[in-house]
Structure 1
Amino acid sequence: MTISVRLASDLDQAACARVFVETMAATFPQEPAESRTEAAYRHSTIGEEQWVAAEGSDVIGFISVYWPTNFIHSLYIRPDRQGQGAGQRLLGAVLPRAKGDMELKTDKANQRAFAFYRHLGWRVVGEGMAATGPWWRLRRAGGIL
């Protein structure tokens, strides 16, 4: 089945929350349980535009962007669907809408995500430390992926 990408609607929020919880649990099992909940998802996406990747009516991933700073706050793909193009399709939907460079952060422990972004032309522009551990800040010019 083909992966489609579209702007998320209110009707997609429950499915996006499930993707968030499932992906957080698989990717960051060491994180506190309260960081892997539907409430954590809702809190983390306040004021952000979301796009979903779907196969038919099945949401398999989402991206969440805070446009005032061109910052990609979230990109989550269901663990069983990673590596099949949904993440690249979501980035391809939002990058052309950027007014300037886009940025994001990824945990240093998440080597798979770091390799994915680097492969797509993102470059390291900073690093820092959070309660959950060290992270990289990455930047890429907006436009076509």
Structure 2
Amino acid sequence: MSPSLDPVRYTLAAATADDRPAMGRLWVETWARTMPDIDFAERLPWLEGHLDRLAADGALIRVAAAEGGPVAGFVVIHPDTGYLDQLAVDPRFWGKGTAEALMAEARRLSPRLVALDVNQDNPRAVRFYEKMGLAIVSEGQNPMSGRRTFRMEWRGASLP
């Protein structure tokens, strides 16, 4: 999908309970397209509990909404650790700047470090994160799927 000629403008805001159904739907749809061999609809209860646990531990959850429209994506980052746990974009908004807006928000919330784990067999995501300035620093394994992962990091400015 090629980028839109007229860029979409997004409003970034803290996620609310009202955003959760849309977040869950887009998470399932995104992952179902990315890894169709895994039943992500079955994993939705895990996501809901996971988001609650992350928020209770200090992670920040932000949604991007297209101007006057639905939730287009969300990002979850822990500003104390710099760990980006989730970044999901509704497939209808792929190539329209949503992921870039969410990454900019992650860097704003965690200006020293953004670190994440990405599946090695998700080349679209790996390319995106590299384009955003993250570098592969190590390899690992996803504990839920058993798939090989890359740990990727972006390091921002250090304080004097």
Task: Give the TM bin, normalised by the shorter chain.
Answer: 0.7 to 0.9
Amino acid at match of 2:102: L
Name the CA distance, whole Å, in 1 between partners of 2:40 and 2:103.
Answer: 28
1:1-145 map, 5 Å: 2-31=9-38, 33=39, 36-45=42-51, 46-47=53-54, 48-55=59-66, 56-98=68-110, 100-130=112-142, 131-142=145-156
Residues 60 and 81 in structure 1, CA contact (< 8 A), matched pair in contact too:
yes
Q: CA RMSD in A?
A: 1.8
Residues 28 and 40 in structure 2, CA contact (< 8 A), matched pair in contact too:
no
Residue range with higher mean Cα deviation, 120-129 or 45-54: 45-54
Residues 63 and 72 in structure 1, CA contact (< 8 A), matched pair in contact too:
yes
Larger helix fraction of residues? 1
Give TM-score scaled by structure 2 length. Answer: 0.80
* Structure 2: tracts of 5 or more residues without a match: 1-7
SS at match of 1:68: coil
Residues 64 and 75 in structure 1, CA contact (< 8 A), matched pair in contact too:
yes
Amino acid at match of 1:50: I
Tell me how far 1:94 sits from its aligned partner.
Answer: 2.1
Tell me how far 1:81 sits from its aligned partner.
Answer: 1.2
Residues 21 and 36 in structure 1, CA contact (< 8 A), matched pair in contact too:
no
Name the CA distance, whole Å, in 2 between partners of 1:93 and 1:66.
Answer: 12
Larger CA Rg, structure 1 vs 2: 2
Residues 115 and 153 in structure 2, CA contact (< 8 A), matched pair in contact too:
yes
Amino acid at match of 1:49: L
Residues 101 and 140 in structure 1, CA contact (< 8 A), matched pair in contact too:
yes
Give TM-score scaled by structure 1 length. Answer: 0.88
Residue range with higher mean Cα deviation, 37-46 or 124-133: 37-46
* Structure 1: tracts of 5 or more residues without a match: none
Amino acid at match of 2:9: T
* Percentage identity across paired residues of the two chains: 25
